[in-house]
Amino acid sequence: MAAGDASRTWFSEMVETLRQEWKSAILWDEVFTLRDRLDAMLYEIRFSRGIRPPTMWCPVCKQRTQQAEPTVSVRAIIFALGRFGIVPPAEVKSLEKRWAKHRKENNLDRNGKLDEAVTAVSDSQGRGNHSHDPTLR
């Protein structure tokens, strides 16, 4: 595993796919489909190369644990468009504003899916639920 791969989200083949698939008049449903493809690519790349998430020290449970696997969100795509020079900064800003509005109006989560989030119940110390289980994202 190359240095930094444990924390990496954007691999070169994903950036190339983003460059090829992005168009200025893209519809939100197409963005969601592209997000799904890029997220699946990320999972496959990390799995095939044996890249595990980095570890961290948890100050709550005093254990060294693995961080959750990185994922590709709609906002990550928007930022990547600017980071890799696919669209100009002004368009990134416009996309981010339009995404925030669309997300709010349609009650969508970070991945463009209907948001069915359940509010976490705080424990007696006022902190939210504590878990390292990446399946609880």
Over residues 101-130, the pLDDT tens digits come to 999 999 999 999 998 863 333 344 444 555
Evaluate whether residue 88 is within a structural domain: yes
Q: What's the confidence (pLDDT) of residue 118?
A: 38
Q: Are 112 and 74 in contact (CB under 8 A)?
A: yes
**52-56, 97-101, 103-107: which range is least confident on average?**
52-56
Amino acid at 130: H
Q: Are 13 and 90 in contact (CB under 8 A)?
A: no
Evaluate whether residue 86 is within a structural domain: yes
Tokens of 73: 């969100």
Average pLDDT score over residue span 36-56? 92
Q: Are 47 and 70 in contact (CB under 8 A)?
A: no
Q: How far is residue 53's CA from residue 7's CA, in Å, rounded to a whole number?
A: 7
Tokens of 3: 């240095």
Evaluate whether residue 45 is within a structural domain: yes
CA quadruple 27, 109, 54, 96: dihedral sign: positive
Domain that holds residue 70: 27-108
Q: What's the confidence (pLDDT) of residue 89?
A: 97
Evaluate whether residue 90 is within a structural domain: yes
Q: Are 81 and 18 in contact (CB under 8 A)?
A: yes
Q: What is the pTM of this model?
A: 0.77
Res. 131: pLDDT tops 90: no
